[in-house]
Amino acid sequence: MVFERDGFLYARVADICDVAGMSHGSFYTYFVSKEEIFREVVDSVELNLLTVDPAPADLDPVERIRTANRHYLETYKTHNKIMDVINQVATIDAEVRETRLQRQEEFAQVIDHRVRLLQEANFADPAVDPAYAAQALGGMVANFADFLFNSDTTFDLETAVDQLTLIWTNALGIGGPGRTTS
């Protein structure tokens, strides 16, 4: 992809057309500018990151969390180069930043709802505020993914999934005193 290879600032519509095998005229039939196509890329990548396949009904809460963490990290790894560009562009483009914030808020609402369900089922600590937990834990995973795939760390994916899952379950009080996970 041109944005991954050249970055946003140096990406040219001509290069995007060449890679896509389309003419300039065709490009402008669908998009007004490279900014518009980039925003479509952002939306698509963000949806991929935050859309987890439904877990089997019999999966225990810890494994559900593990599955979600694995999905996020593996998807981030797949889209690592474009995520780096998206993170950069979000600092200078209000629409890209807004798309990211909107997707993060939608995902936080899903986490909030799931935490409430865990609390109702007596799996999670009722003293944890689901809204705060959703923002903090979701942000932790997102920032950790950026660190994991955009630094020279020696951390590995499997241990990262295990540790993030442990941190999530500890933060929510899952499996703590008087609670079970099955």
Find, among 19, 26, 23, the residue nearest to 4 by Cα.
19
Domain that holds residue 105: 41-172
Judge whether residue 114 has pLDDT over 60.
yes
Q: What is the pLDDT of residue 174?
A: 93
Residue 14 lies in a domain: no
Query: Does some domain include residue 3?
Result: no
Total domains in the chain come to 1
Give the CATH number of the domain where residue 61 resides.
Answer: 1.10.357.10
Let me know if residue 92 belongs to a domain: yes
In a domain, 133, yes or no: yes
**Among the residues of the chain, which ranges form H helices?**
2-10, 13-20, 24-30, 34-50, 61-78, 80-89, 94-120, 130-149, 157-172
Cβ atoms of 174 and 129 closer than 8 Å: no
Which of the pair, 130 or 25, is modelled with greater confidence? 130
Which pLDDT belongs to residue 176? 55
Residue 181 pLDDT level (bands cut at 50, 70, 90): low
9 domain residue, yes or no: no
Does 28 reside within a domain?
no
Structural domain contains residue 33:
no
